[in-house]
Structures are given as structure tokens and as C-alpha cells.
Structure 1
Amino acid sequence: MDAEIEPVCSAKGCRREALYEVRWNNPKIHPPERRKVWLACEEHRESLADFLDRRGFLREVAPFR
């Protein structure tokens, strides 16, 4: 039986409902088409995306579901 993943923000200590997918990959270890996903609430969408963008990992931010 598959348990549904709880859609909560990936920011440390945050338990708010996820509204966005912050999609990223590390080009040194992932093929270009691979996307890893962090979930983000409204409050943390920008800070999570900025963190990844500064490292060159951010690919896109999209609505969750």
C-alpha cells in the first residue's frame, strides 16, 4: 500500500501547506532532464528558490498540483 506524501513546505521547521514546486538539479551529478523537487509554502517560495539559484541549481518554480 502506497502512503500519500504529506504536501508540506520543505523549509526547515515549516509545516505549512505546500503551494509550489521548486524544481532543481545539480548539473555536476544529474543529467539535464532530471528534476528534483522541494515543496514550498507562499512564505518560503522565494527563499528556497534563491538558495538554489545562487548555486546554479534552480530550473523552475511551478504551482504544486
Structure 2
Amino acid sequence: MSETPICSAKGCRADAVWVLAWNNPKIHTPERRKTWLACAEHREHLSQFLGVRGFLKDVVKFEDWEAPEGS
């Protein structure tokens, strides 16, 4: 079994290379960060989905991502 994280896009099984950090201000405290993982192909689509809703906070290369304390 692979330990490599996979893309969060529906039906995609590609390796994740991006972390999309997001927050829904209606239900999360301002410092809370939820994450979706994205392959190169789905990064833009997932970013746009979160962005038009005002949820997207950051996009970081998977290898550079450090989860905030308490996540």
C-alpha cells in the first residue's frame, strides 16, 4: 500500500503535490485551516472552487507544508 497522499479531486488517484489550506468563516474560527490535497492537474480547479466561495487561504507545495499546531 502506498503512503503517498493522493489528490482530493473526486475520482482522482494521482499523487498529491499541493496542499490547499482553506477555512469556511461561517463554521470555522479564523485561525482554523482545513486542507485538500491536489495533483498538478487539479490544483487550479480545486483552488477556483474554494476561491469563488472565499474559502481559500493558501496553496503550498506538499513537501513545504507544515500543519499548524493543534490541527
Determine if the TM-score, normalized by the shorter chain, exceeds 0.5.
yes
Q: Which residue of 2 aligns with 1:60?
A: 58
CA distance in 1, matches of 2:4, 2:57: 23
CA distance in 2, matches of 1:31, 1:9: 25
CA distance in 2, matches of 1:24, 1:42: 18
Matched, 1:16 2:14: yes
Identity %: 62
Alignment of 1:18-57 (within 5 A): 18-57=16-55
**Gaps spanning 5+ residues in structure 1: where?**
none
**Gaps spanning 5+ residues in structure 2: where?**
64-71
CA distance in 1, matches of 2:5, 2:38: 9
Q: Which residue of 1 aligns with 2:69?
A: none
Cα deviation for residue 6 of structure 1 reads 4.5
CA distance in 2, matches of 1:62, 1:36: 13
TM-score (norm 2): 0.82
Aligned residues: 61
Deviations 1:7-64 (A, max 9, x none): 0000000000000001100001101110000000000000000000000100010010
TM-score (norm 1): 0.89
SS where residue 46 of structure 1 aligns?
helix
